[in-house]
Amino acid sequence: MEQHVMQLIHLIGESGVLAPVLFIFLHILRQFLFIPVGFICILGGVIFGVVFGTIYSLIGVTLVSLYFYGLVKSLPKSYKKVITLKEKWLGRRSTLSLGQITILRLVPFLHFHLISLCLIEIARNFKEYTKFSLFTNVPLAIVYTSLGNWLNQLSIQWMMAILLTLGILFYVLRRKEMVIKWHDFFANAS
């Protein structure tokens, strides 16, 4: 695995002017190769440095988010099935706030497209989804590109402290209101 990573770094690094395009294309291919988002962002920091690696990662991750939006909207039956499944697991009234979704983007073991699905749920249209997606992808690109190597070498105690801090932020940034529709309220009362 390490040898393949080194070959990939060398291939992209030696591509010259095409290197950013190949890197962004790698972000798009990542989902089909089952490579974590954080790994590709870390790779961008190694190849291009923090600033350009963050910019290219942000472009790649946002393009993947927009592709996912188009895919979900073109398959409405599948979308409804996934939402129904989510409602069974989390309840009908469990929508996440934008701050919570931003925090979830930073948790490495959560699926990227599941979090994008939560964004689709709170966005009213494509323009708003694009804005929300860009907003939630910025911290992801910055953290994993600039601090990726540092996070990789953390002790278990520091990792637990960071996860605890993210959990507290997740709770603090939750939605504070609950909307119950008229027919839902009376359906539960009878």
CB 43 within 8 A of CB 82: no
Q: How many residues does the chain have?
A: 190
- Each domain of the chain, given as residue ranges in start order, spans 2-189
**% of the chain at pLDDT higher than 70:** 81
pTM of the complete model: 0.73
| 83-97, 104-118, 146-160 — most confident range | 104-118
Burial class (CB in 10 A: 0-12, 13-18, 19+), 151: middle
